[in-house]
């Protein structure tokens, strides 16, 4: 019998999950006020008609809305500040984040700055570490199955002057409501399907090996990894496979809960300087360094990796913790290959001459996640893992 240590469980978001649940957006918005700022990207929610649909659903409930569509992938702190000033000027009562991880993370930060003041970067660890007292309520409506931001108190932002990309986490920015409708994800192209699905996989595996892992996230992480391993290649091959989208939507939300309860480890620290400096997709960056990190710290996490191998369908002929833990990395590489993300840092454009700078950047900006990674990693170790990933 495994011993269960003390843990903290806090997850105040109402999660509305299921096909067609987008139809309830107006009903839940009505509880939060009379005017919304809708934060979205430049193209996809307009092209699919989703933005107009949400505006219409709000209107039916007598709620007016303003659209802020300046969000780009790897959102910039300057865009957040602009969005917050619009929310204040327009007297918005709440913020709706509509789209992938970038618009939803941005909606959380806009809600924070609009209510609590200052500039977005003030709230990051390297920008002053300001602690908020309150934020406007947020409704998250994801159209991808990856970030888990619909079920967590985190947001990631990039400073355009320094290229530093940093995650912040505050209880105040948990979404009040998240509407997770898998039908909204049918329009996701294969590359984004793969990248967001692997992001969710890494949230799960990183929480599972985190020194602070706990019983609820352990269960959800194994469930999520098993689902992603089976369904992600199916959705990658056939974007209209609704069964796969439903499974992946749940896997992503479950992985977001894992992030909230236990958190990520050093793979997210390693990735942020990559996408900060090279503007590559977050999920692709994670896939470049993830297998190397797991190999590097395998002696410290062998039993946990053996469990991962089991839920990823390790052959019955593979037995024993040592062999199974190696098999987990083999199966992970196979999954990445099946969805076009068997990728090296070199292929993402990273130069060898940058590795020391990136390792120092990772430790300075995301050292907190390194400290909860088994293996007591130092900056030198991060550099070694980057080197293995080239």
**Closest approach of Cβ 147 to Fe ion, in Å?**
6
- Residue 137 or residue 148: which is nearer to Fe ion going by CB? 148
Alpha carbons within 13 angstroms on the beta-carbon side of residue 80 total 33
Cα separation, 50 vs 47, in Å, equals 8
Closest-CA residue to 266 (of 325, 205, 333, 320):
205
- Residue 199 or residue 381: which is nearer to Fe ion going by CB? 199
Local structure of residue 63 (DSSP, 8 states): -
**Closest approach of Cβ 102 to Fe ion, in Å?**
12
Residue nearest to Fe ion (CB): 199
**Closest approach of Cβ 203 to Fe ion, in Å?**
6
Taking phi first (over 0 means left), then psi (-120 to 50 degrees means alpha), and beta for anything else, what does residue 313 get? Answer: left
How, if at all, do strands 165-169 and 154-158 pair?
antiparallel
Cα separation, 240 vs 253, in Å, equals 20
**Closest approach of Cβ 199 to Fe ion, in Å?**
4
**Closest approach of Cβ 285 to Fe ion, in Å?**
9
Lookup: tokens for 265: 């480890």
**Closest approach of Cβ 282 to Fe ion, in Å?**
6
Cβ-contact 79, 107 below 8 angstroms = no
263: helix, coil or strand?
A: coil
**Strand partners for 142:** 99
94: helix, coil or strand?
A: strand
**Closest approach of Cβ 146 to Fe ion, in Å?**
7
Which residues sit at the interface with Fe ion, rule CB under 5 A? Answer: 199
For the chain, helix (H) and strand (E) counts, in that order, are: 14, 8
Phi, psi of 139 (to 5 degrees): -110, 125
């Amino acid at each position: 019998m495994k011993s269960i240590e003390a843990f903290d469980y806090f997850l105040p978001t109402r999660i509305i999950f299921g096909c067609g649940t987008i139809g309830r957006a107006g009903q839940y918005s009505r509880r939060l006020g009379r005017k919304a700022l809708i934060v979205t990207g430049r193209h996809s929610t307009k092209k699919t008609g989703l933005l107009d649909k949400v505006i219409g659903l709000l209107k039916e409930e007598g709620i007016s809305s303003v659209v802020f569509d300046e969000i780009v992938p790897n959102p910039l702190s300057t865009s957040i500040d602009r969005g917050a000033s619009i929310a204040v000027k327009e007297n918005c009562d709440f913020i709706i984040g509509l789209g992938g991880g970038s618009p939803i993370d941005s909606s959380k930060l806009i809600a924070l700055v609009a209510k609590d003041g200052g500039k977005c970067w003030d709230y990051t660890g390297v920008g002053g570490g300001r602690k908020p007292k309150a934020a406007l309520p947020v409704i998250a409506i994801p159209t991808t199955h990856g970030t888990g931001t619909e079920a967590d108190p985190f947001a990631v932002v990039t400073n355009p002057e320094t290229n530093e990309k940093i995650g912040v986490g505050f209880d105040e920015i948990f979404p009040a409501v998240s509407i997770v409708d898998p039908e909204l994800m049918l329009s996701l192209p294969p590359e984004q399907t793969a990248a967001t699905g692997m992001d969710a996989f890494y949230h799960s595996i990183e929480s599972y090996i985190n020194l602070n892992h706990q019983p609820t996230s352990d269960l959800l992480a194994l469930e999520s990894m098993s689902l992603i391993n089976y369904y992600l290649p199916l959705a990658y091959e056939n974007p209209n496979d609704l069964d796969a989208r439903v499974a992946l939507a749940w896997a992503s939300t479950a992985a977001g809960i894992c992030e909230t309860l236990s958190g990520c480890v050093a793979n997210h620290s390693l990735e942020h300087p990559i996408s900060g400096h090279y503007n590559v997709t977050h999920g692709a960056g994670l896939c470049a360094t993830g297998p190397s990190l797991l190999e590097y710290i395998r002696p410290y996490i062998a039993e946990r990796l053996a469990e991962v191998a089991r839920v990823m369908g390790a052959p019955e002929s593979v037995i024993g913790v040592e062999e199974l833990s190696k098999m987990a990395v083999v199966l992970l590489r196979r999954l990445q290959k099946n969805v076009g993300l068997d990728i090296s840092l070199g292929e993402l454009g990273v130069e060898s001459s940058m590795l020391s700078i990136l390792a120092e950047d990772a430790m300075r900006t995301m050292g907190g996640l390194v400290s909860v990674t088994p293996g007591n990693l130092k900056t030198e170790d991060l550099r070694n893992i980057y080197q293995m990933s080239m």
